[in-house]
């Protein structure tokens, strides 16, 4: 029997990740858990639980289960798997107003590309289009990941 999860929970897990946190799906409960880098390091180093702050102990225990590869936890695509740069690039080429698409496309190379892009999205008043495009792209990534992992969506 495949696990059933809410698509919104998967999307939220995808969007919550950063350099210091990763999302995992608990295949028993269907819960998406945001795991901190600190908890993973504490689990890897087998840090005694009494040395871990009270509020982080449960997370370290879960991290230990993840590292034990029990099969209960499945990592969601990371921010690098999602590749927001490619999403921005596709958005630029999808715009009906070709001149704005070209300007945005030129801004997404080199250091500071994300900031320049987001500033220009507001400057050229395409923020609503960008937000919808990005949401749909993330949603498609979530749906495809679920399909590949035999996860049913509620």
Is 10 within a domain?
A: no
- Residue 142 located in a structural domain: yes
Residue 1's pLDDT is: 58
127 and 142 share a domain? yes
pLDDT score at 49: 87
DSSP readout, 58-111? Answer: HHHHHHHHHHTT-SSEEEPPPHHHHTHHHHHHHHHHH-SSHHHHHHHHHHTSST
Polymer length of the chain = 154
Instruction: Residue 39: name the closest of 71, 62, 69 by CA.
Output: 62
Q: Judge whether 86 lies within some domain.
A: yes
Residue pLDDT tens, the chain, 154 long: 578 999 999 999 999 999 899 999 999 999 999 999 999 999 999 988 888 888 889 999 999 999 999 889 999 999 889 999 999 999 999 999 999 999 999 999 889 999 999 999 999 999 999 999 999 999 999 999 999 999 999 8
Q: What is the DSSP string of 17-51?
A: -BTTEEEEEETTT--EEEEEHHHHHHHHTT--GGG
The answer to whether residues 68 and 86 belong to one domain is no
Is 12 part of any domain? no
C-alpha 142 chain-centroid distance? 9
**Number of folded domains that form the chain:** 2
Domain that holds residue 105: 80-147
Closest CA to 13 of 78, 94, 101: 78
pLDDT of residue 97: 93
């Amino acid at each position: 029997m495949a696990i059933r999860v809410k698509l919104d929970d998967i999307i939220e897990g995808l969007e919550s990740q950063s350099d210091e946190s990763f999302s995992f799906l608990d295949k028993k409960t269907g819960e998406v858990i945001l795991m901190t880098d600190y908890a993973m390091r504490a689990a890897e180093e087998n840090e005694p639980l009494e040395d871990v702050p009270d509020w982080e102990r449960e997370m370290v225990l879960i991290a230990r289960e993840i590292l034990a590869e029990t099969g209960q936890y499945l990592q969601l695509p990371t921010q690098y798997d999602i590749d927001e740069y490619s999403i921005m690039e596709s958005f630029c080429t999808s715009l009906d107003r070709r001149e704005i698409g070209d300007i945005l496309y030129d801004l997404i190379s080199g250091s500071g590309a994300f900031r320049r892009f987001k500033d220009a999205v507001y400057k050229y008043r395409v923020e609503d289009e960008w937000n919808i495009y990005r949401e749909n792209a993330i949603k498609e990534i979530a749906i495809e990941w679920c399909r590949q992992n035999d996860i049913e969506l509620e």
